[in-house]
Structure 1
Amino acid sequence: MPRRIIIHAGFHKTGTTTLQATLRENRTTLKKHIALRLRWHMKDIVAASRGYSTDQDPLALIKVQSRFGSMMNALPGMPRRTLIISAEELSGHLPGRGDLMDYAAAPVLIYAYWEIAKARYPQAEVLIYLSTRSPTAWLASAYWEHVKSSNMTMDFDAFSTRYIKAAKLDDMVTEIASRVPAPVYAHALEDCRDLALGPADPLLDLCDLPQTLRSELVAVPPSNERLGDDVLHAMLEANRIHKTPAARNAAKAAILAEARNA
């Protein structure tokens, strides 16, 4: 059984893509010490977690529990290793999608993961890890993601006013810590800028890796970085002009391709 299980359940737009890419890039080096289940390993759990976050239907939570339990039961033997389960969508959808205002579903979801992990491996230490970001930076990044990936036409000032509660990630960390009976650790993206492995370093600090092994790990470039405000404004205009998804998506794809090739 694993000696420790770390559930990294969010939040979106806090360097999670870079963190997961770093773990994946170094998976061979880490293999003797760490087992990984990343977002692409658990698409069915991610889909169910997103579904629960939108309406918090008890039946949707049962689906989350069933799928997470199936994953835990299917794990191979991993004696004395640390199991890292990492996907920002384990906290649900990114707030701003439809009527989703905040991360209110996250404490319920994370409690469910903790409960199932503890039942499956009662002797293992189960930790919760949450990556965070300042409210101002999170709002800017979340807005960019929605304009790029959805039909959002709201301007940034209106978005910031509407979703300010969602941006207070430290408050949600406190809420989760008060409701999940496990150690909860959090680290802000702003505090990772000078770390050798960026946002992956604070998570790896919880794994008690030999220092000689840490020195062998390689960094990856930051992932999913935003382009300039001119690109953002062009995509926002495309959302406002084009009424069909096909036309809207084609226009934004062309905008992004031009910007990346410039």
Structure 2
Amino acid sequence: MRLVVHAGFHKTGTSSVQAMLRKNATLLSPHLRILLKADFDGLAEASRSFSLRPSEEALTTAGGRAARMLRRIDPADPRPVLISSEDLSGTLPGRRGLEGYDAAPLLLAGLAEQARARFGDALELTFYFSTREAGAWLRSTWWQNLRSTRLQLSFEDYAAGLATAADMARVLEEVAAAVAPATVVSERLEISRDRPEGPLSPLLDLVALPGEVRARLVTLPPVNAEPDIGLAEVFLALNRSGFSEDSLREIKKKLRRIANRDAESG
């Protein structure tokens, strides 16, 4: 029983991975069982909630949701299982006052415990993390929070408050200790994005997808990336303005639509 859990980190190509898995679902189905956030939304929500308001009760709820998800996986099916959602490690840092991934080791230890209880000694469990150079990651999460919330911090002030979250090597060490004897594997986006299937490549290695299937995969351009037109600074000014929440949301949506259209025509 091979189970690979792609648990983060946010803004390291995870949306691109999931888009490719959805696009190639029919081709992959005979060889791989795929579970994305829509397949276990209760677990993702519980994980985010625990990271924002940690408590024994919230952690127990997340563990129960993990058990419910795992019960739907047939251990007699020989296909490996790939689960992908960055929310399994909690909420995106920088949002609602969250400064790091302190919840990730606890959440993933609970998931590992439930997986071992479900599948026993036959389980081969691997946690995979895509990582990213700290400066680029901080910039990308700043953009994500600017577009999704009313964040009003400059990039410099934002980055200064999230230095702990950007230390992904430390988080990986803590997760590895928490989920042992499961394996923890990582690869930097700066490396994986140049591989044949982009940031999906390391996961295909872990599930041992046959080469002839990999050669037929439809690749996609990066998803959810910041447009290179200075839009982040515009959103920062808008967030600091007196626009109502509804108006602000509508303006951002229109600007993103224009940016996407210009990118496609350019």
CA deviations 1:151-193 (Å, max 9, x no partner) are 0000000001110111111221122112211111001100013
Tell me the equivalent position of 1:42: 40
Q: Give the alignment's Cα RMSD to 1 decimal.
A: 1.4
Tell me the equivalent position of 2:13: 15
Contact 1:50 1:89 (C-alpha < 8 Å) held by counterparts: yes
> TM-score by structure 1 length?
0.95
The whole-number CA distance in structure 2 between the counterparts of 1:94 and 1:46 is 12
Gaps of 5+ in 2: none
Shift of 1:74: 2.3
Contact 1:235 1:255 (C-alpha < 8 Å) held by counterparts: no
Tell me the equivalent position of 2:241: 241
Tell me the equivalent position of 1:128: 127
Following superposition of structure 1 onto structure 2, how do residues 63-82 of structure 1 map, counting pairs within 5 Å? 63-76=61-74, 79-82=77-80
Gaps of 5+ in 1: none
Contact 2:75 2:119 (C-alpha < 8 Å) held by counterparts: no
Q: Which amino acid aligns with 2:99?
A: M
The whole-number CA distance in structure 2 between the counterparts of 1:233 and 1:209 is 42
Tell me the equivalent position of 2:185: 185
Tell me the equivalent position of 2:227: 227
Contact 2:130 2:187 (C-alpha < 8 Å) held by counterparts: yes
The whole-number CA distance in structure 2 between the counterparts of 1:236 and 1:260 is 19
Contact 2:5 2:127 (C-alpha < 8 Å) held by counterparts: yes
Following superposition of structure 1 onto structure 2, how do residues 88-99 of structure 1 map, counting pairs within 5 Å? 88-99=86-97
Shift of 1:24: 1.7
The whole-number CA distance in structure 1 between the counterparts of 2:184 and 2:135 is 23
Greater CA drift, 229-238 or 93-102 = 229-238
Contact 1:7 1:85 (C-alpha < 8 Å) held by counterparts: yes
Following superposition of structure 1 onto structure 2, how do residues 1-262 of structure 1 map, counting pairs within 5 Å? 3-76=1-74, 79-122=77-120, 123-181=122-180, 182-262=182-262
> TM-score by structure 2 length?
0.94
The whole-number CA distance in structure 1 between the counterparts of 2:202 and 2:127 is 12
How many residues are aligned here? 260
Shift of 1:88: 0.4
